[in-house]
Amino acid sequence: MNAPLVFLPGWCLGRGPLNVAVDALGGTIFDLPGYGDAPLITDFAAAADDIAARLPAGATLAGWSIGAQLALAVAARHPDKVGRLVLVAGTASFVQRDGWPHAMPPEMLAEFTTNMLADPEAMLPRFVGGFNRGDARAKEVTRQLLDLADPRPPVDVLAAGLAWLRDVDLRADAGQVRCLTLLIHGAADPLMPLAAAEALAALIPGARVAACADCAHAPFVSQPDAFLATVRTFLNE
């Protein structure tokens, strides 16, 4: 019997875009802090600990984008809780830092944060369209993600997630992960470059990358059949 599968969503969009894939895999979704009925936890480490407290021992933990960062932190901090780890469009650091060039310049994130918090309704379609640039199905994937997105969380919840993207650096945590780890990453992801996934995988003992050609930041929507096949193969190894 496979271990229970728990999936952590990405920033702003909620669980809606993931529902079809997670249902097909027989998994469940944990809302990010502040989304749905989950209380807002602004401290990243405390949020990871809260997720770990609700996970059954030996679970398969998966996450998309910022959810992948949380999943990575849970696996590093609570190795008894995570038997396998799936990071979809994951990275150790969302912004560029010394020794980590595979990311967004900090000033670009700062500008986006200012604009997003000032007018979320106008910025969300631009954000989603932007992270699908380079995808062979960019317009359709953008439309699907916006259609499937949960109701937008409050601005303070969005701000907390953006602060995580600015501040969190998980390079040291990555070396503490001891479970089987798969990174699924769009080869054309403009938000988190494939080089970021490859660099992160090199920090996690035994991790490997499954790159999706002609795919950007949301492989479970862009290439759903291939995504499900990749995850199922990993879960059954």
Dig out the tokens for 105 from the structure: 């310049």
- Name beta bridge partners: 182: 86, 208
User: Above 90 in pLDDT, residue 230?
Assistant: yes
| Angle, CA of 183, 50 and 77, to the nearest 5° | 55
pLDDT at 169: 98
Which positions are catalytic? Answer: 65, 189, 217
61: exposed, middle or buried (Cβ count in 10 Å: 0-12, 13-18, 19+): buried
Tell me which H or E stretch contains 131: helix 120-131
Domains and CATH numbers, the chain: 5-235 (3.40.50.1820)
pLDDT in tens, 39-88: 999 999 999 999 999 999 999 999 999 999 999 999 999 999 999 999 99
In the prediction, which pLDDT does 2 show? 77
